């Protein structure tokens, strides 16, 4: 039987608090450090590995973290989730994003529908539509092929799909699977839509409008902006737009769209990139086969997350180490540092995934909790970040845990030897150097040049960033966030924190303001 208890009531957590702290700088020095790095590594899906040799843990900490995983029933709670129990207590909903890429357990029947079959049908319908566009069966009014796809959405309807498109654009060019260029419009700032529209040929573009409710203010505003541009080009917007929405939204049966594909309330926006939200734009951009490989990678990682052994469940281990850093060691932030330019927007996606999920101060029953929860997430690709904020990471007053991501080979398969090494070798050399520099530090009589060390990091290592490895990477972090939410006994699947501002913005636009809200409205000339 599953029980939902606050972290500070668990015996294993109290045991964690009493453990002796690991001296990371000492542990990572010399042969001991070499053995740690070799031994503290867990296989991930698609040939990747999660290496935590430079984390502030030892065998004793790992032993108690395994107890915590069992006491908090993390794997059992995951099973309850993918078998369709109502895990989203705030909105009284199931949580089913895992079903869009595989069936881990029982069939989930909801609202009289087999949800796995429903999701597969949407993927099949989107794939058929994409193939018709690529084959020239669906064209513009002049009978010409579409060459560009632009997604209109915000939050989870933008960040995940955009990050994935940018992550695979180079790979697709090398493998001749880039079918259409993709663009994204998200911000209600008119400069966003204007700039995208100025860089495309509207006559040869399909626009994908993504709104579950069909009422999202920013998205509908940008849709009107785009429709105006299409009309000004002498075209019919209905020939250039498709919708990804719920079956009950006003967009679902509208004649304003070439086609409509459906999602439901059981997949939250930040978890939706493997659903129709990502399927439409990514299948149009890369082809359905590439999107299917992306789903396969995610499904393989999902399966690993069902393992009760923390040393065979990399997402759960990553989550537990993160809880130890947050709740025992007291670290506020986590920096995500992909040493891959293709992952330039991946930290932004993870920022929403993590902070919107676990930025909670009440438990899943609405009761205040007495411990900290989700960390602040930020990041940039290396080596750019090294010349930006690494100064604070190395010598600042706060210790920030680091999550590196690196690949042995680049995507574009184009490199040169300069000063005895390739660019890729230089990139990877920087990753290795940074991990050791953060962990071990450097003594110096000049205090300005002294590095204390003891700054923990982990690294996810893969051979190459491919559709499948990207899917596995995405699932790893989704499951990590989920497991941490379970440990903290919070609901990781609603986001009431984004609602209040929306309500007040509507009051401002309706000129129903007083007090400070009116003054700020006047200040901004609204």
Please check whether residue 226 is in contact with residue 207, taking contact to mean a CB–CB distance below 8 angstroms.
Answer: yes
Helix H or strand E encompassing 128 = helix 115-135
Long-range (24+ apart) CB contacts under 8 A made by 8-13 are 8/369, 8/370, 8/371, 10/68, 10/71, 10/72, 11/67, 11/71, 12/64, 12/65, 12/67, 12/68, 12/70, 12/71, 12/72, 13/68, 13/327
DSSP states along 147-177: -EEEEE--GGGTHHHHHHHHHHHHHHHHTT-
- Confirm if 84 and 96 have CB atoms less than 8 A apart: yes
Is 387 catalytic? The answer is yes
Length of the chain: 526
* DSSP designation for 451: B
**Residue of 348, 357, 467, 335 whose CA lies nearest to 403:** 335
DSSP one-letter string for 13-67: HHHHHTSPPP-HHHHTSHHHHHHHHHHSEEE-GGG-EEE-TTSS--HHHHHHHHH
Coil vs helix vs strand at 109: strand
Q: CA angle, corner 260, sides to 258 and 265, nearest 5?
A: 160
Contacts 24+ apart (CB under 8 A), 215-218: 215/249, 215/250, 216/153, 216/154, 217/188, 217/502, 217/505, 217/506, 218/154, 218/186, 218/187, 218/188
Q: Is there a catalytic annotation at residue 356?
A: yes
Distance of CA 447 to the CA centre of its chain: 39
User: 392-399: long-range contacts at Cβ-Cβ below 8 A with a sequence spacing of 24 or more?
Assistant: 393/335, 393/438, 393/455, 394/437, 394/438, 394/451, 394/455, 395/451, 395/452, 398/331, 398/332, 398/333, 399/329, 399/331, 399/454, 399/455, 399/456
Catalytic entry in 232, 387, 408, 450: 387
Which of 132, 253, 502, 506 is catalytic? The answer is 502
φ/ψ of residue 322, rounded to 5? -65, -40
Of these residues, 356, 380, 394, 476, which one is catalytic?
356
Catalytic residue flag (residue 179) = no
Helix, strand, coil: what percent of the chain each, to 5? Answer: 50, 15, 35
Contact 16, 66 (CB under 8 A): no
Question: What residues are labeled active site?
Answer: 356, 387, 502
């Amino acid at each position: 039987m599953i029980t939902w208890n606050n972290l500070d009531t668990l015996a294993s957590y109290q045991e964690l608090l009493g453990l002796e702290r690991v001296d990371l700088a000492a542990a990572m020095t010399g042969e001991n450090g070499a053995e740690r790095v070799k031994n503290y590594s867990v296989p991930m899906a698609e040939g990747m590995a999660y290496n935590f040799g430079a984390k502030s843990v030892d065998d004793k900490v790992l032993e108690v973290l395994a107890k915590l995983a069992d006491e908090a029933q993390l794997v059992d709670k995951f099973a309850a989730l993918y078998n369709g129990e109502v895990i989203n207590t705030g909105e009284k909903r199931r949580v089913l994003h895992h079903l869009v890429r595989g069936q881990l357990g029982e069939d989930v029947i909801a609202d009289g529908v087999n949800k796995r079959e429903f999701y597969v049908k949407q993927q099949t319908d989107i794939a058929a539509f994409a193939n018709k566009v690529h084959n020239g069966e669906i064209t513009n009014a002049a009978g010409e092929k579409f060459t560009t796809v632009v997604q209109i959405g915000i939050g989870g309807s933008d960040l995940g799909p955009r990050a994935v498109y940018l992550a695979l654009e180079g790979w697709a060019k090398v493998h001749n699977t880039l079918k259409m260029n993709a663009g994204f419009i998200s911000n209600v700032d008119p400069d966003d839509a204007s700039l995208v529209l100025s860089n495309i040929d509207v006559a040869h573009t399909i626009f994908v409008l993504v709104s579950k409710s069909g009422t999202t203010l920013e998205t509908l505003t940008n849709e009107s902006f785009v429709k105006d541009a299409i009309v000004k080009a002498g075209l019919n917007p209905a020939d250039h737009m498709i919708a990804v929405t719920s079956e009950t939204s006003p967009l679902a049966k509208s004649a304003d769209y070439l086609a409509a594909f459906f999602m439901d309330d059981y997949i939250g926006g930040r978890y939706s990139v493997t659903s129709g939200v990502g399927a439409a734009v990514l299948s149009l951009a890369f082809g359905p086969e590439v999107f299917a490989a992306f789903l396969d990678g995610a499904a393989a990682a999902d399966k690993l997350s069902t393992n009760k052994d923390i040393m065979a469940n990399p997402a759960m281990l990553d989550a537990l180490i993160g809880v130890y850093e947050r709740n025992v060691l007291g670290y506020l932030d986590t920096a995500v540092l992909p040493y891959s330019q293709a992952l330039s927007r991946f930290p932004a996606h993870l920022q929403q995934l993590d902070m919107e999920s676990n930025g909670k101060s009440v438990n899943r029953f609405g009761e205040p909790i007495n411990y900290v929860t989700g960390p602040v997430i930020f990041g940039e690709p290396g080596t750019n970040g090294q010349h930006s904020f690494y100064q604070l990471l190395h010598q600042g007053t706060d210790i920030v845990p680091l999550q590196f991501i690196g690949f042995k080979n680049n995507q574009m398969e184009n490199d040169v030897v300069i000063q005895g090494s390739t660019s890729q070798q230089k990139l990877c050399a920087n990753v290795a150097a940074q991990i050791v520099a953060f962990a071990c530090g450097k003594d110096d009589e000049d205090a300005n040049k002294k590095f204390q060390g003891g700054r923990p990091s982990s690294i996810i290592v893969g051979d190459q960033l491919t559709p499948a490895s990207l899917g596995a990477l995405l699932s790893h972090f989704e499951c990590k966030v989920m497991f941490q939410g379970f440990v903290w006994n919070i609901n990781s699947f609603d986001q009431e924190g984004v609602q209040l501002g929306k309500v007040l913005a509507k009051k401002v636009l309706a000129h129903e303001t007083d007090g400070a809200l009116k003054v700020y409205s006047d200040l901004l000339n609204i």
